[in-house]
Structure 1
Amino acid sequence: MAKDHIDAVEALRGNTSLPFEQARAMPPEVYTSDAFTEQELEKIFRKEWFCVGRVDALARSGDYVTCDLAGQPIAVVRDAAGDLRAFSNVCLHRMSTLLHGRGNTKSIVCPYHAWTYNLDGSLRGAPAMSQNQGFCKDNYKLPKIRCEEWLGWVFVTLNPDSAPVAEQLAEVEGLIEDYDMAGYVESFYETHVWDTNWKVLAENFMESYHLPVCHAGTIGGMSKLEEVVCPEGRPAFNFHTFFKDGSLPIAQAHKDNDRLKGDRRRTSFLLVIYPSLMITLTPGYFWYLSLHPNGPGQVRMGFGGGMARDYAAEPEAQQHFTALRALLEDVNVEDRGCTEKVYRGLCSGLSRPGHLSHLERPNYDFAHYLINRIDAA
């Protein structure tokens, strides 16, 4: 085992052995070690559920989304019968990747030699193969990958033994049942690559301590840190909450929403579904990040969002959301600057982790999740 991995794991063990009242930020080695990143891929991303986005992107027969999960290209497709299927996105001939990005297709055609697959992954045909006596197209079918839908999200996993998503996240479902998250409608999705470690961006999402400073040019002035509530995290997720004021109407419950009562009508949840799905859920809109490491120093990010069903059909609400999306783009610019600066600092020889604020409770819980998975057999 590489020495930098051993040092990083030992440093993280020491870090997480302290009670929260004495806790510090995670050690630099946890972010910068190549060997530690390989262990994250092996023990977390190859074993946990990974979110590929919202089911809205897979509404029609032939709709597909793709991702690379711990080195395995995956395609998720709505088949002709209306079922969601996930399978290896690698041709069974000379092993080219098949589908790319997102879109809709009637069949899956390899861009290299035009081997063609049905939407259920079975091979439909292959040109110029009649002279190979061992070839039989019925023997070819793209390997299946587990795929599940939960509250409007689509997850895949390479682990045949992973407990169902709904079982792992039953407490989340109870926590936000009155928000009807499955009914939110996605209106945009983008992909980005930032020059920072995936955990830096995850931690940036899961604490509001940075808002007044990092986001001084956008939402910082609206941040009331005294109203932020950071409960103790759970094995599969952490969260914190705060109130949204009336400056953005769609941040509060729609007038016809009779599910949310009292302060819940203006309460926003920042949910972190381990390992890497980050959801801002307000009574009227949502946005999210789905993160995957691209080595220690880069993160691949899916970024999407939309509105609650109550607002989705209202032209005025659409105008508010358009303004919100423009604001989120500016917020992303600020977050990118801050998180890339953090990673540069982590790579320096004199970097040292400081004590955590009470507003960084989710970061502490995230560190415990990481060491529990890395230490697992």
Structure 2
Amino acid sequence: MSSIQPVNELVEAASRPFEDARAMPPSVYTRSDFLDREIETIFSKEWICVGRSNGLANPGDYLTYELAGQPIVVLRDKEGQLRAFSNVCLHRMSTLLEGAGNTRAIVCPYHAWTYGLDGRLRGAPFMTQTTGFCKEDYALPSIRCEEWLGWIYVTLDNERESVATALRPLESMIAQYEMENYVECFRETHVWDTNWKVLAENFMESYHLPVCHAATVGGHSKLDEMECPPGLAAFNYHWITKEASLAIGNAHPSNTRLEGRWRKTTALLAIYPSHLVTLTPGYFWYLSLHPKGTGRVAMVFGGGLSPEFMADPRAEEYVATLKTLLDEVNVEDRGCTEKVFKGLSADTAKAGHLSYLERPIYDFMQYIAERTSGLDRSFALAAE
């Protein structure tokens, strides 16, 4: 199969009007050369979410991330600023920090070269007799890092417009929630055996909820209550307004910010390429995805509560309830999405028509086609 065949198949699918839309063809999920194109045109260019800023609350708090093959560390410096650096030592190129935690300095595990929280080299054992060595010449390369409504984003592209500019339309749409004040209570990393787009699409649509999540949230998911408007350039979204099964799913009695239907409305947000957020009046949870191969996806998974529920005497109980539920939901989603990838790899796999409840998947397809093939998606954005 030609390396351009997945691109051509994707463009053909993305060129259909929504009324006759089909899912993306199997080749864009299973072909390694198409994944290479995604890394080059999407993940090495776009803003990628790595977590919530309150998760790095104190000087020295850090987390690590691998973005398009580049090891990165994001930390809170001594002045309280969020910063991101290359997580590679400037001596013999070992990676530096691992996982997440708190540190007073960045110490290389190979030869103990030590960098401050500002990225500058502070110490290098047994280097004073080396001709030409000057400690002041060494500083870890900076990586662009921005905070938006409490989220931390990084990008390798120094020319990319700011997160706030790209997401200004979304910010105005969800302003009443004041998402910036929600508190992350847990953050984990996982790897699932599916394609990153399969998992992203699974989050974007609620069509699967009554079946895939029959044992958890499915019974509370009324498809006729879903609103799936056309997406915008940098994101897609849909709304669910209902009486939540959990107390934290609706607004806390002390919440005076949300009025009327907004006290019972959940926003499901897909911020391109791979930041997926469920935002309710009382809690939030999210995924941030990065491919590890055509059939493996690294996932940052986290969640927490609105400030009113964090201030409630039962906050600890609410967090435990939320985490238990989401762990069960993730087990269900993992099973469903891994089955989809297995099916995509079959010789008989063929994309079928999309439901009107899968409008976000159509918009996501337009985005992927634009980034990987240069498709002009203005017809889809302007069609509604």
TM surpasses 0.5: yes
Q: Residues 246 and 374 from structure 1, CA distance in 2 versus in 1: closer, same or farther, beyond 3 angstroms?
A: closer
Tell me the equivalent position of 1:134. Answer: 132
What are the within-5 Å matches in structure 2 for residues 225-244 of structure 1?
Answer: 225-244=223-242
* SS of the residue 1:294 aligns to: strand
| One-letter amino acid of the counterpart of residue 332, structure 1 | N
1:105 aligned residue = 103
CA contact (8 A) 1:51 1:155 kept: yes
**TM-score, structure 2 length as denominator?**
0.96
Whether the 8 Å CA contact 2:193–2:338 is kept in 1: the answer is yes
Aligned-partner residue type, residue 262 of structure 1: G
Matched with 1:53 is: 51
Which residue in 1 is equivalent to 2:12?
14
Length-normalised TM-score, structure 1: 0.98
2:380 match: none
Answer yes or no: is 1:356 the counterpart of 2:354: yes
1:31 has 2:15 as partner: no
Aligned to 2:258, which of 238, 250, 260? 260
Of 184, 187, 195, the match for 2:185? 187
- Once residues 221 and 267 of structure 1 are traced to their aligned partners in structure 2, the CA distance between those partners, rounded to angstroms, is 17
Instruction: Give the match for residue 341 of structure 1.
Output: 339
* Inter-partner Cα distance in structure 2 for 1:111 and 1:143: 19
1:334 partner letter: E
Question: In structure 2, the residue corresponding to 1:90 is in which secondary structure?
Answer: coil
Q: Indicate which of 315, 318, 321 corresponds to 2:319.
A: 321
Residue type matched to 1:247 in 2?
Answer: S
Paired residue type of 1:258: T
> Aligned-pair distance for 1:131?
2.2
CA distance in 2, matches of 1:272, 1:357: 18
Shift of 1:357: 0.3
8 A contact 1:116–1:125 mirrored in 2: yes
How far residue 315 of structure 1 moved from its aligned partner, in angstroms, is: 2.9
Amino acid at match of 1:331: V
Secondary structure of 1:315 counterpart: coil
In the TM superposition, what whole-angstrom CA distance separates every residue of 1:51-105 from its partner, at most 9, and x where no partner exists? 0100011111111111000000011111111111111000000101101111110
Structure 2 counterpart SS, 1:149: strand
Deviation, 1:246, is: 4.0
CA drift at 1:4: 4.5
Amino acid at match of 1:351: A
One-letter amino acid of the structure 2 residue matched with residue 23 of structure 1: A
| RMSD (Å) for aligned C-alpha atoms | 1.1
Deviating runs (4+, > 2 A) in structure 1? 315-318
Look up the SS of the partner of 1:255 in the other structure.
coil
| Contact 1:4/1:33 (<8 A) preserved | no
Deviating more after overlay: 239-248 vs 268-277: 239-248
Deviation sequence 1:18-76 (CA, Å, 0-9, x none): 00010011000000010110111110000000101000111111111110000000111
After superposition, the C-alpha distances for 1:241-299 in whole angstroms (9 at most, x for unaligned) are 10232421111111121111110100000000000000000000000000000010100
Farther-moved stretch of structure 1 (202-211 vs 55-64): 55-64
Aligned equivalents of 1:5, 1:88: Cα separation in 2: 32
Any idea what SS the aligned residue of 2:4 has?
Answer: helix
- Taking the TM superposition and a 5 Å limit, the aligned residue runs for 1:169-248 are 169-248=167-246
Q: CA deviation at 1:325?
A: 1.4
Aligned to 1:304: 302
Distance 1:70 1:244, change over 3 A: same
- The letter for the 1-side match of 2:316 is Q
Counterpart secondary structure, 2:261:
helix
The one-letter amino acid paired with 1:68 is: E
Query: Percent identity, aligned pairs only?
Result: 61
Q: Secondary structure at the match of 1:119?
A: coil
Q: Residues 246 and 85 from structure 1, CA distance in 2 versus in 1: closer, same or farther, beyond 3 angstroms?
A: closer
Query: Could you say which residue in structure 1 is the equivalent of 2:293?
Result: 295
Classify the secondary structure of the residue corresponding to 2:227.
coil
2:277–2:287 contact (8 Å) kept in structure 1: yes
Is 2:185–2:319's contact at 8 Å kept on the other side of the alignment? no
Residue matched to 2:369: 371
* CA deviation map 1:132-164 (0-9, x unaligned): 102111110000111000000000100011000
Secondary structure, aligned partner of 2:55: helix
Partner of 2:276: 278
Could you say what secondary structure the match of 1:121 adopts? coil
Specify the alignment match of 2:165 in structure 1.
167
Which residue of structure 1 lines up, in the alignment, with residue 378 of structure 2? Answer: none
Q: Deviations over 1:317-342 (max 9, x none)?
A: 43133122111111100100000000
